[in-house]
């Protein structure tokens, strides 16, 4: 991968996690001694990714201060989504892209994952690479459909029974596909699409021939949307498989 850039989206209100997020943004929820954000930044650092664009909004001062205090070695640029209360990740990604040239890793700011996820993405060829957990999905999860090794559709709207697995919110975009994806994000971040997730830009791309699912099944990962997800993440990464893998790093 030619670039060492990453984009983290962490602007949302996280209303589904209240009261846990009444006083802090979701990315600063602790999983043991480290926050979700700490774990993401540590994983990026471990893989040599030190230039990071982070989109913030809700409780952004707390995020900026946390980064200054705990990660002074990283070049983190915080970009404010001024409309974070009325827009979703499609618009946050649009705001980030002008500050991140070339290839980049993408992370939703609420995913707790094993650092090995990044290695599997970084080892892949050019194109769009989505980290996918092969499992039976729920309605709430972002699902992918795969045909002949290529992702042909993505979104929460897909039938869980027919999906290939869950996109966990971690991806890599490189080469000509990254440029095409940038253009698609800019085209779709328009009035009427304020509440679309960033995956909508992938869903609407006419040519997905370079978009692939990278199987990360077996590597611990949790997207924290609800209180039960947070409890599960703590169990997995402090007392379960994720904790054991951390100890081996």
In the predicted structure, residue 69 carries a pLDDT above the cut 60: yes
pLDDT at 149: 83
Query: What is the residue-averaged pLDDT of the chain?
Result: 91
pLDDT at 45: 95
pLDDT at 8: 98
d(CA 159, CA 84): 29
Q: Tell me which residue has tokens 């070695």.
A: 73
Predicted confidence (pLDDT) per residue in 88-109, tens digit? 999 999 999 999 989 999 999 9
pLDDT at 248: 46
Closest CA to 175 of 113, 126, 236: 126
Predicted confidence (pLDDT) per residue in 136-174, tens digit? 788 778 999 999 889 999 999 998 888 999 999 999 999
Task: Say if residues 98 and 183 touch (Cβ distance below 8 Å).
Answer: no
d(CA 141, CA 192): 23
Residue 4's pLDDT band, with cuts at 50, 70 and 90, is confident
d(CA 17, CA 26): 8
Predicted confidence (pLDDT) per residue in 172-204, tens digit? 999 999 999 999 999 999 999 999 999 999 999
Mean pLDDT, rounded, for 69-80 = 95
Q: What percent of the chain has pLDDT over 90?
A: 80
**Rounded to a whole number, what is the largest CA-CA distance in the chain?**
48
In the predicted structure, residue 246 carries a pLDDT above the cut 90: no
């Amino acid at each position: 991968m030619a670039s060492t850039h990453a984009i983290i989206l962490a602007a949302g209100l996280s209303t589904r996690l209240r009261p846990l997020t009444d006083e802090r943004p979701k990315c600063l929820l602790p999983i043991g001694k480290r926050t979700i954000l700490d774990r993401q930044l540590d994983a990026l650092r471990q893989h040599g990714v030190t230039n990071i664009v982070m989109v913030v909004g809700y409780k952004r001062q707390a995020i900026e201060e946390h980064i200054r205090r705990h990660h002074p070695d990283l070049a983190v640029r915080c970009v404010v989504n001024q409309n974070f209360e009325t827009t979703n990740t499609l618009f946050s990604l649009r705001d980030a892209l002008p500050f991140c040239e070339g290839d980049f890793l993408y992370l939703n700011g609420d995913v707790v994952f094993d650092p090995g996820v990044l290695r599997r993405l970084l080892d892949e060829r050019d194109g769009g690479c989505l980290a996918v957990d092969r499992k039976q999905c729920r309605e709430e999860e972002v699902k992918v459909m795969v045909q002949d090794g290529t992702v042909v559709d993505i979104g929460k709207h897909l039938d869980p029974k027919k999906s290939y697995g869950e996109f966990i919110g971690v991806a890599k975009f490189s080469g000509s596909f990254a440029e095409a994806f940038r253009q698609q994000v800019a085209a779709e971040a328009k009035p009427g699409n304020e509440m679309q997730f960033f995956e909508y830009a992938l869903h609407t791309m006419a040519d997905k021939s370079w978009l692939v699912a990278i199987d990360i099944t077996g590597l611990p990962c949790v997207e924290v949307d609800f209180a039960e997800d947070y409890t599960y993440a703590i169990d997995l990464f402090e007392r379960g498989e994720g904790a054991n893998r951390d100890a081996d790093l």
